């Protein structure tokens, strides 16, 4: 189930890159979360009815999680992939565990040892290797691809969301996902309206329909349920290692379906990120998992 979730997210990166420039990003994200909310309202009504008082009492934290983990995060994926490749997106996803550890320290003052600090630094050096393509001139002139910068910023947003999941009120997984979808849609709505005001509309064609369907059903509902069940079974530490399947699946799909090519900076960057994450996710000395 964890592997299936990783494959689902990798597939979403490929599709988002494919439709980059074809569909407006914020409108696409709005449609995605509206479909998620509609499907869950139909098929998860008993759980929603039971959890409604909890949702109403905790709307503020649910709105925050919806903004960071669904609304803004989801839209910026589409925006970033207009300007950079799916390979870069997949590889940089591997830095998430290190950034989550950093976010947990900054927000909740979770203990962090020197080994974790070194690991985070090594992981970030891997990100620099990717966005600079190992070209010193890019670093010297700050001539970074804007899509890469958006993806890096977005991974920081995902880290904040993941660290703050501990604040999630107790409710059924489907109820939480419904609340997340509604919050994400509301956050996205003003930006989608701005796109429409500038003449950018969703096209009612097979490509748009397929993209929204995949993003809602596969990348959101199926992947989230699989990931949640996997974490419950194996624990967050063991489950987190499966995130490294995202760049693996992403590389296979991007090279075969999009014709993207692996370069030396992808291998160097992923090696540094993987080495850094292996240190960053270790508990500080004296702290048990």
- Neighbouring CB atoms inside 10 A of 103's CB total 21
What global pTM score does this model have?
0.86
Mean pLDDT, rounded, of the chain: 87
At 36 the pLDDT is 95
The mean per-residue pLDDT over the stretch 238-246 comes to 74
Has residue 288 got a pLDDT over 60? no
The Cα-based distances of 113 to 48, 95, 236, 283 in angstroms read 41, 18, 19, 8
Question: Tens of pLDDT along 268-280?
Answer: 988 998 888 888 7
Contact 272, 119 (CB under 8 A): no
Q: Chain centroid to CA 13: how far?
A: 10
The predicted model gives 181-198 an average pLDDT of 95
Distance CA 123, CA 97 (A): 10
66 vs 138, more confident: 66
What pLDDT was estimated at residue 262? Answer: 87
pLDDT tier at 116 (50, 70, 90 boundaries)? confident
Task: Report domain extents, the chain.
Answer: 2-280
Do 25 and 147 contact (CB within 8 A), yes or no? no
Round to whole Å and give the CA distance between 220 and 33.
Answer: 8
pLDDT at 24: 92
| Per-residue pLDDT, 88 | 87
Chain segment 191-239, per-residue pLDDT in tens: 999 999 999 988 888 988 999 999 999 998 998 888 877 877 876 656 7
* Residue % of the chain over a pLDDT of 70: 94
For residue 6, name the pLDDT band (cuts at 50, 70, 90): confident
């Amino acid at each position: 189930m964890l592997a299936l979730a990783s494959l689902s997210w990798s597939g979403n990166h490929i599709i988002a890159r494919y439709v980059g420039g074809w569909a407006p990003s914020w409108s696409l994200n709005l449609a995605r979360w509206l479909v998620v909310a509609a499907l869950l309202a139909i098929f998860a009504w008993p759980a929603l009815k039971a959890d409604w008082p909890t949702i109403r009492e905790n709307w503020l934290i649910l709105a925050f999680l919806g903004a960071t983990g669904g609304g803004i995060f989801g839209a910026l994926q589409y925006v970033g992939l207009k300007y950079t490749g799916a390979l870069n997106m997949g590889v940089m996803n591997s830095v998430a565990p290190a950034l989550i550890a950093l976010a947990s320290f900054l927000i909740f003052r979770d203990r962090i040892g020197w080994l974790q600090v070194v690991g985070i630094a090594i992981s970030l050096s891997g990100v620099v290797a990717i966005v600079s393509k190992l070209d010193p001139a890019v670093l010297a002139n700050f001539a970074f691809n804007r899509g890469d910068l958006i993806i890096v910023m977005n991974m920081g947003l995902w880290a904040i969301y993941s660290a703050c999941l501990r604040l999630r009120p107790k409710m059924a997984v489907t109820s939480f996902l419904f609340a997340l979808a509604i919050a994400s849609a509301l956050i996205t709505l003003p930006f989608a309206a701005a796109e429409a005001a500038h003449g950018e509309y969703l096209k009612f064609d097979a490509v748009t329909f397929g993209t929204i369907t995949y993003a809602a059903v596969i990348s959101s509902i199926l992947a989230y349920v699989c990931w949640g069940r996997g974490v419950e079974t194996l624990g967050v530490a063991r489950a987190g290692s499966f995130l490294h399947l995202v760049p693996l699946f992403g590389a296979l799909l991007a090279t075969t379906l999009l014709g993207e090519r692996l370069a030396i900076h992808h291998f160097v960057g992923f090696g540094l990120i993987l080495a850094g994450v292996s240190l960053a996710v270790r508990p500080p000395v004296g702290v048990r998992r």
